[in-house]
Structures are given as structure tokens and as C-alpha cells.
Structure 1
């Protein structure tokens, strides 16, 4: 019987199936950390024993500081709603990290601007967001309004899975309740952004899968204030396409786009066709990605993975 992982805890999984919610029994030597919310699995209908996990179509994951392995965020996500609000939480550098994460996973990113009722003009926020990646879609919603579900409906139809990511307090839980029509005791607890520093309080403590009224699925995730770059080179190239597309025209193959003669990126900056602030953010993320991405080292047949280290 097919089922879909709804929550992952230290000692158990829960899943959604055609017969309703259930708790699969894990075989010996199988760990819950091998699964992500959104995974499709096969279960023996009589014993509830988990038989196997089906191949993933997409996997969102991140490497936390000091961790040896990637942390699984969500699986089989068609669209990643990157939620940010029209106030001091709006941070282009952080949004670029989320975009790289989505790109690397093969998931379509959409920027969702919330708190539009709290600002006189949300258009400047929308313009800044749209400029972060070619072809990026940006939508504006009041997360508490039923109209928000209509705005996001193109990505939430039958057979579609979306995931919500963003800082605490930007309206992810409110948006989840709107998409799933949850009210009262069933509703996800919501918080707010503190006015003094525009930071939110954690109300979602674990990842979870929920059915959307329109036939799709939504995965809620806890707020992430830090997102380290690792194993994400292709995703960065897509975010900073204006830089990655110029790089092959530089005189040197290993050009850092800083001081080298014949640098096509520096020429574009001089011509004011590339934003120097974008180059600075690209350099920071590229260096971080290089430092955090393990490389295989050692003799053939006995290689181990070690951090690459910073570029000299």
C-alpha cells in the first residue's frame, strides 16, 4: 500500500495513506533519519511494516554547522514557497540562499511576500525580489485572507506538493492554515514578528505534511535563520546567472572576478550591467559553498570525504 511520510521523529514516522493516517513499523536497521517528510513509501497493508522507500523526484536538504551529513528538509516538492514579509525581515542575501537551495534540488522557487497590508507600497519589495534570479515569480498575499489561497492556487492543484520556508514570524503557519482551511484546535499555532528587531518567534517546531483543500499537499517547516551553503554550485549558478554566464569569457579559467586582468565580470561592472553588490554576495556564497562541500581524498578504493577548505 502506498503512503506518504507526514512527520519524522527520532523514534517513529507517521504517514498519510488512502485509509487515513497511520504509523508504519520500521524494519530492523532502518532509521528514521533515512526519511524526509514528503517521501513516498510502500507499506504492508496487514502488518503496517514499511517495505521500502520509492525513488525521490526532488530532495531539499541542508548541511548544518559541524554536521557530517546533510539534514533532510522535504522530499518530492514541486514548488518551494520562499516566504518573506514586507518589513525589515526582507533580506535579499538570505533569499538568494533559499533560491540556491531550491535550484539545486530541482524544485521551482516562488517568492511569497506577506504582510502586504502592513506597508504603504509593497511594489519595491516585489521589484527587489524579482531581480534576484531570471524568470523568478513573485506573488503578494495577505496570509490571513482567503484570497491568498486563490493567488497560490496555480501551484497547489491535485498531485502538486508545495513547501513553505522562511524566517519565523513571516506568516508561514498562517499561510498553512489558509491553504488547508484549518481552524480552531486543528490550526497551526501562529506567532508574530517582534516590532523592535523584526524577528519572529518559532511556532512550528517540526516538519509536517498537510492536505490542501484543492487536492495538493503542503509541507510546513520550522523557521531557518541560518542556511549554510554546501554541495550547491549549480544552484548558485542559476541564482547569479549574470555572473556565471560571463565567467567563461574571462581570460583565466579560475578567475575570482576580483583583480585578474581580462575579467569579463569586472568589465560588466564597469559598464554598469552587473551590480557590484551581487558580485560581493556571490563571492561570499561561493567561498562558503567551497569550504563546506566535502571532497573525496585518499588512495583509490579507500577514499574518505573531507571539507574542501577555503580557497586561497
Structure 2
């Protein structure tokens, strides 16, 4: 089977190219899938091999207006040869099928949500999101709250989430119970134990990719993402480091995102360790991850119950009886507050854009009136 580094023509269908994408390709350009992103340029895999392509002025203007439009790893792009200079130019990003977007949410000194709310696309056109959570992180067990958050974002991306409890060999006792705990906080999502160094679970992960599916691996630094990618690739595709002495926590080895074609088919995107991931645009991700809590909320006496002391609140009753763990309740409330904040920010942004649009229209109308004979 040919690969993107081989001479001659490469079969782009192995990278996920489809006829529907071809319909959006501008005349005079060729398709390419972005493998790496640099400042003002990208490494693109085309049918003729890998090419370095600088962003066109059109792409730079679109990204300046909305950072979400900045080309990212996994994007399909329109690439054209600039004949006088003999260089390649990335002239546009084709419509994304899915996008994993991180919101610019932070906390102010009073503990409230703040930030510009601008999104950053971590990966595009992804079929599967592998959420990598180590069985042990230093001296701590897997962080269930982090799993809930990343799976929520995975659902929002449009891709299918799969949770991988990595470094399974580090937890000799209690692994089965940990898997059950993780399954309990992400209903309907497959959960697998993986030890990349021992080869445990690697073939299960590979089966999700088939011949042309794309996956992204997300998780904290030290979760074993790059080790897993190397095990899938059968080579040292990504540099890895040993965990720090003393606390056992991982270093930030991967400093860039990269699309890696795998032998036998499928592609995988490795990512730097994520400390904080804010929600960007909210659909039904929170409801899917917290389906059990949402079911309780529908049993509350009042439709507008805030679950904060109202009589007949089924959520609080479950919390008091122990049927709903306090950790899960607090995690649900936190994501709900964040989702509400993001919804208000989105409404404000849309209002602002609408006001700017009408100001421009009125300005053009006044200008047209002045120029009328």
C-alpha cells in the first residue's frame, strides 16, 4: 500500500477524501489534508506527496475575523501552485464535517467565568475521539471529572467518543472496579483498558480506525497519548519522555498536533497535554454525559427547578439519599453553569454582529443617497 511519503500518486481516499468534498473544491486548486500547522503555513498531504503551503491573504483575513476559521490539523484544504514563485499556497479550508473546538473560558479572581470566549479548533474532520485517562497519574487514580468534561466536548464535536484507561499495567489491583466507575460516568460510551507498552488493548483501538477513519487522542500530559500513537504506527512517530521522578507526572512532550497515517489504514492525531478545556458551543453534550442526572431533573415538581433548594427537587432528593454521588452532582452543575455562560456569550456575539451588519448597510444607504443625482 502506498503512503503519503511515497513517490507518485497517493490515494486520497485513504485519508478520508470523498466525492462530497470534491464538490466544494474551487477550480484551479487541488485537495490536501493538513498534517501540521505552522505560523502562517501548513504541511499538507496531497496526491503528489507532502507540500508546505503558505496561507493566502483570503485565509488570513478569515482567521482574523474568526479564529475558528484558522486552518487546523485534519482540515481538508484547497491548495494551488503559485507559478511565478514556484511555491504552494493554501487558498481555503473546505467545510468541516466535525470539529473539536476548545473555548477560551477562564475564571476571574472572584471565581466567575470570564475570557474572550474565542474558540480554537484542536482537530477537524475526526470520526473518533479517544479520551485518554491514565489509571494512575502520579499517586492519584483516574480523574472522573476530567473524563466527563472531555467526553462532553467529544460529543459536541460531532465525533464518537471512546474512553481509554491508559497505563493499565500501573494498577495491578482495582482495574476492573475503575473501569466500572468510568463506565458509570459516561453512559453509552465504550471504555477500554490499554497498556501501550505491553500491547494490551492496542488492537481494540486500531479496530475503530478501519481503513480511512480519523481519530484524535486527547488527555492530560503524561496520559500515554504519544506512546499509544507510536504503538499504532509501529514506529517512533512521536517523541516520548519518562515521567518525572518524585511525583510520577508526565512532562509536556508533544508540543504540536500532527496527523499521522497508520500502516494498514486509518489516521490518528496526537495532541499536547490539555490542562484546561473550556466549552465553546453547547448542544446536547452535557445531557448525553449526564443522562442519569437529566432524567432525575425531569422528575422535579417544577419545570424551572434550579436544583438549589426548591421543594420537590428530585435531583436534591437523590443527592441526599446517596443515589446521586456529590462529585457527579457538582460536576454536572459546573458544566451547566459554563454552558449557560457560553450561551449568553454567543447571544451577545450574535447581537453585536447583527448591529455591525446593519450599521454597514445604513452607512452604504446614506452614501448612496448622497451620491444620487
TM-score range, shorter chain: 0.7 to 0.9
**Alignment partner of 1:29: what SS?**
helix
Tell me, yes or no, if structure 1 residue 136 matches structure 2 residue 189.
Answer: yes
The equivalent of 1:241 in structure 2 is 291
Verify the 8 A CA contact 1:25 1:49 in the aligned structure 2. yes
Whether the 8 Å contact between 2:165 and 2:179 is mirrored in structure 1 is yes
Q: 1: CA distance between counterparts of 2:283 and 2:59?
A: 31
Shift in CA distance, 303/284, structure 1 to aligned 2, threshold 3 Å: farther
Matched, 1:24 2:53: yes
Distance 1:256 1:303, change over 3 A: farther
Distance 1:199 1:299, change over 3 A: closer
- Compute the displacement of 1:37 (Å): 0.7
CA RMSD of aligned residues (A): 2.4
Which structure 1 segments of 5+ residues have no match? 305-312
Q: Distance in 2 between matches of 1:146 and 1:281?
A: 33
In structure 2, the residue matched to 1:40 is: 76
Instruction: Give the structure 1 partner of residue 148 of structure 2.
Output: 96
Query: What is the match of residue 308 of structure 2?
Result: 258
Alpha-carbon contact 1:42-1:50 (below 8 Å) kept: yes
Give the 5 Å matches for 1:282-301: 282-293=332-343, 294-297=345-348, 301=354
| Matching residue of 1:55 | 95
CA distance, structure 1, for counterparts of residue 39 and residue 354 of structure 2: 33
Q: Return the match for 2:210 from 117, 132, 157.
A: 157
Compare CA radii of gyration and give the structure with the larger one: 2
Structure 2 distance, partners of 1:180, 1:278, is 36
Once the 2 structures are TM-superposed, how far is the Cα of residue 77 of structure 1 from its aligned partner?
A: 0.8
Q: Could you say which residue in structure 2 is the equivalent of 1:8?
A: 37
Say how many residue pairs are matched: 301
Deviation at 1:98, TM superposition (A): 0.2
Does residue 1:73 correspond to 2:122, yes or no?
yes
Alignment equivalent of 2:243, drawn from 165, 168, 193 = 193
Give distance in 2, aligned partners of 1:62 and 1:299: 22
Higher helix residue share: 2
* Equivalent pair of 1:230/1:290 in contact (CA under 8 Å): no
Match of 1:106 in 2: 158
Contact 2:59 2:91 in 1 (8 A): no
Taking structure 1 as reference, are residues 68 and 285 closer, same or farther at Cα in structure 2, changes over 3 Å only? closer
Q: Cα distance 1:196–1:252, how it changes in 2: closer, same or farther (>3 A)? A: farther
Query: Quick check: 1:100–1:235 contact (8 Å CA) kept in 2?
Result: yes
Gaps of 5+ in 2: 1-29, 107-114, 358-373
C-alpha distance in 2 between matches for 1:172 and 1:300: 39
Q: For the residues of structure 2 that align with 1:103 and 1:150, how far apart are their CA atoms?
A: 24
Residues 266-302 of structure 1, C-alpha deviations (whole Å, 9 max, x = no match)? 3344555433331121112211332344142458941
Cα drift, residue 134 of structure 1: 1.3
Segment drifting more, 120-129 vs 217-226: 120-129
- What is the rounded CA distance, in whole Å, between the counterparts of 2:206 and 2:46 in structure 1? 23
TM-score (norm. length: structure 1): 0.88
Contact kept in structure 1, 2:117 and 2:342, CA below 8 Å: no
Structure 1 residue 68, shift from structure 2 partner: 4.1
The whole-number CA distance in structure 2 between the counterparts of 1:18 and 1:164 is 26
Q: Does 1:281 align with 2:321?
A: no
1:295 to 1:39, Cα distance in 2 relative to 1, 3 A: closer
TM-score (norm 2): 0.74
Shift of the 300–138 alpha-carbon distance from structure 1 to 2, 3 Å rule, reads closer
CA–CA distance in 1 between the matches of 2:265 and 2:283? 34
